[in-house]
Amino acid sequence: MKVVVIGGGWAGCAAALAAVKQGAEVTLIERTDMLLGTGLVGGIFRNNGRFTAAEEAIAMGGGELFQLMDANSVHRNIEFPGHKHASLYNITSMEPAVVQLLRRHGVELKMSTRISEVALNGRRLVAVMTGKEAEAERFDADAFVETTGTSALPNVCHKYGNGCCMCVLRCHAFGSRVSIAGRAGIKEITGKKGPQVGAMSGSCELVRDSLAPDVLDEMRRTGLAMRAIPSVDIDSSKLDRKACQQYTQAEYKSNVIVLDTGGAKLMTSFLPLHILRTVPGFENARFADPFGGGRGNSIRYVNMAPRNDALKVEGLDNVFCGGEKAGLLVGHTEAIVTGTLAGYNAVRCALGKELLVVPDSLALGDAIKHVREQMQTEKGLGMKFTFSGSVYFERMKQRDGYLLDIAEIRRRVAGAGLTDVFAQHSRAVAARPAAVGAMA
């Protein structure tokens, strides 16, 4: 039983881990030389409804990555505008820790390996390859998980954004992202809000040593520093283009907010360097990764896969998707929980068993279902969804889905019959009941 995961961001790592725990032989293929993707410049988790989603995953037996995040946290239970009880993982130590975890579980990692071609047998994906030539490396499998993300090609970033900023995705160094579903002939979905195609990534890092000692001291003590931006003419409408819609609130338009993630994560992206340097404590500030942080980052939410609520790609019998590839979901937590379900169902597909559809009584199940429904509407394609803010967090609260009581979260998971479901060996358990699972 062989499963191949294409894309080594948080979703791909979660998918590989879920599949290998079910007894599959798993290969994780990543086009660059590091895992985690945009998680290399992120670091925020357990904030707002992400706390609930993480604890659901833990109760369902898929919590290893969250526990590893906890172990690599530099700050816990901090607050910044719009976010409560947030944790920040160390972006420097996180990636090698994930590499070691996957290897301990027996996942084969193929780094600096760019998949560009596919082999099909009807509706089944048979193999993925690094090229068309005879010497191209080929990976055959019984089931596949695509977690290649939705970041655009450099020419798309030029057309719909501010040009290629050589962001952490490093397309020029390792080759542009290739959509596996697209290569297989699937008509994919692109987010669009008015004339804007996709959304602008908000990840932005500053060089720590370029910040004043008092800023660094405050960051170390509290997890963040916030300084008012002088009264100058700033085009704050650019924040409307961010993938994370919750950062359009007033505090982010009038303040520089920087989080201590081991690096220095700047939340107010699109701030020109000459203006940033007028802020007290930031006189010598310098952008780190992406290098063009003051102009904006990569365009995202291009080439999302049409999928069902089991995260199987529509039109293909044995391909699953997670993370942004599965829709307009924003964040590390969102990537991990969808990747976990995709990897789990890939194994069940390979074994001919019923696929798990998480019920909407849980935040994970409701988010997957709700986003799929919204992606079928023009209005929904112009929105982004996250457990941490914007429209979906409001939905969580309205549905009484935002929980901080871990015992209650576990009771709800148990009520759905899903306690430790991701930890059970797939060869040793019967198919899920029809009320919970559905063959797609």
182 by Cβ neighbours in 10 Å (0-12 / 13-18 / 19+) ranks as middle
Averaged pLDDT of the chain: 90
Domain range annotation of the chain: 2-75+87-197+299-428, 202-276
CA atoms within 13 Å, Cβ hemisphere of 31 = 27
Contact (CB, 8 A) for 323 and 335: yes
Q: Name the band, by pLDDT with cuts 50, 70 and 90, for residue 161.
A: confident
- As separate numbers, helices (DSSP H) first and strands (DSSP E) second, the chain gives 15, 19
pTM of the predicted model as reported, rounded to 2 decimal places: 0.93
d(CA 291, CA 287): 6
Give per-residue pLDDT as tens, 47-87: 999 999 999 999 999 999 999 999 999 999 999 988 999 99
Whether the predicted pLDDT of 432 surpasses 50? no
Compute the average pLDDT of residues 99-121.
98
Per-residue tokens: 306: 């049409």
Q: Which fold has domain 2-75+87-197+299-428?
A: FAD/NAD(P)-binding domain (3.50.50)
Give per-residue pLDDT as tens, 203-215: 788 999 999 999 9
Q: Name the band, by pLDDT with cuts 50, 70 and 90, for residue 435.
A: very low
- Total residue count of the chain as it appears in this document: 440
